Amino acid sequence: MTLSPQPAPSAHAAFKRVLVKLSGEALMGDREYGVDPGRIESIAREIVEVHQSGAEVALVIGAGNIVRGMQAAEGGMDRATADYAGMLATLLNSLTVQDALERHGAQTRVLSAITVAEVAEPYIRRRAIRHLEKGRIVIFAAGTGNPFFTTDTAAALRALEIGAEAILMAKNNVEGVYDGDPNVDPNARFLPELTHLEAIERGLKVMDTTALSLCMDNHLPIHVFALADGNIRRVVAGERVGTIISTPRDPGANR
């Protein structure tokens, strides 16, 4: 474990606390499977920079680079068992990212929704918040701990639980949300802003609907942008990058 000074809050961060969702694909780079060490290195460097700018940072990490429950179930595996395998795979990715963050001098904790006492703390909400307040980067592993969910839903749930101001979704090879798949349809239009409901109704492939509706009901904005060098830092600094999904509050409502 690396002991390093806590980051001094500075004027550079527009957010006090954010949750960054990294898909398994984002860790894979151009590979077919597993993790790309160069990619992990650049992500870790940037996250540590963001943290040093004064923002509290929590991460939820997917596992599409190793196991996706639904795909394994299509191949004949029992769905719930496949999902548990997927959740355990997020733990492998979490330890890999933890190691890279600590090599860059950050203090970190992995909190797992499935008990793996030898390698990570159990997820306890108040403990997660305390770690963030103490200047540690918190990595939430094992998704929600329940099969039939995704790490997008885990990101929405944990972001709400810790009072994050936004979810930052760094995507592989897409600049944000489009009204079609830009890798397939050359006429797909980039959408700089939309509401959660529009994303759900138009079936835009940004996050699964469980996660989107949780964010919509709780007015949690989602910033979707390409995982290109410096983008996480730009978003946290308040720059306009990619797509913002938000639902304005009803001015007549109490909250």
Which spans of this chain sit near ligand UDP (rule: CB under 6 A)? 23-25, 62-64, 68-70, 82-83, 86-87, 90, 143-144, 146-147, 149-154
Instruction: Look up residue 14 and give its DSSP letter.
Output: S
Least Å distance between CB 150 and ligand UDP?
4
189, with CB counted inside 10 A (0-12, 13-18, 19+), is exposed
Joined together, the tokens standing for residue 125 give: 């909400």
Residue 191's DSSP bridge partners are 177
233 vs 136: CA distance, rounded Å: 17
Joined together, the tokens standing for residue 40 give: 């992990």
Least Å distance between CB 239 and ligand UDP?
25
Q: Which is nearer to ligand UDP, 108 or 151 (CB)?
A: 151
Least Å distance between CB 117 and ligand UDP?
20
78 vs 234: CA distance, rounded Å: 42
Least Å distance between CB 22 and ligand UDP?
8
Which residue's C-beta sits nearest to ligand UDP?
Answer: 62
Q: Which is nearer to ligand UDP, 100 or 169 (CB)?
A: 169
242 vs 244: CA distance, rounded Å: 7
Q: Which is nearer to ligand UDP, 46 or 83 (CB)?
A: 83
Q: Which is nearer to ligand UDP, 23 or 53 (CB)?
A: 23
